[in-house]
Structure 1
């Protein structure tokens, strides 16, 4: 009985859902006039126009010649102005596990190895940040925190940064918290019965 109660408690306290934001289903593509993109329940925002969009093409020059840059064969969000802000639609907290960032279109050789900073507001109060060096392939930045919002800056002096594979988990829903309470009460009752016997 204790094992069942422990299993119920662990299940109830686990994050309710997990998701990877990939931009695969986002439309329209190749439209860089957006200052807000919503994908898979999350807002991605910049403070400028003509500096953010979703693209599924490998980096290339205007004449179609290939350019070096982060590309994994799937659509990704590209932006060229800081900061890129990320939040849940509706403003709720979420667990940000990790995200992939890389230098993409038009980043000059001198900017390869530039420092990117991922700053975040913690759901429990306070803030934090992680830094990584970006090059022309994807770098996974691990956060592992319950956050309210995220801000990404740096990573290049000119050109675009590519964002993909944002791994998030929602915080436990009220129903999950209720299930956890039921599991705790059940465990206490089972323990009490065991002592009385």
Structure 2
């Protein structure tokens, strides 16, 4: 009888131990991947914020009487830089606040581009063309970084919600929580209106 109980215990416990040991590092690895991807999102937003003063100064030289647009871009950039969002405080409210600030900056940049259309000699300026190209490239990098972050969060959340990851997380990583992903605000989902 003892032998049967021992065999049953081993038949249950050994596979459970095997599953935990084999999958033990998945949650921390996926968590670090999410953090790295979020850092890339922030890195690309920072790159954009760093380029904006150069773009504004270049345009200012040609369009000095368009002050309100420059003020709007500067204020929007300031709002973006005031939000300190890291992977440890990714919650729906902070993501919404971050997203709104970025949307405000995107809107201000759109207005700046309308100002540019008024000044044909500015559009031909080599410095401006270079900055505009850099800004466009940065916007594309932001899109790629957000996509990569969304994918990393999906993989992490799947690990916590499916077997055997759910079991391993419950045993070995009980503090692991489902992470919030990046989402566009309602304003960002609307088609932009460009007026010339």
TM-score by length of 1: 0.28
Over alpha carbons, which structure has the higher Rg? Answer: 2
Relative to total residues, which structure has the larger helix share, 1 or 2?
2
Relative to total residues, which structure has the larger strand share, 1 or 2?
1
RCO higher in structure (CA 8 A, sep ≥6): 2
TM-score by length of 2: 0.28
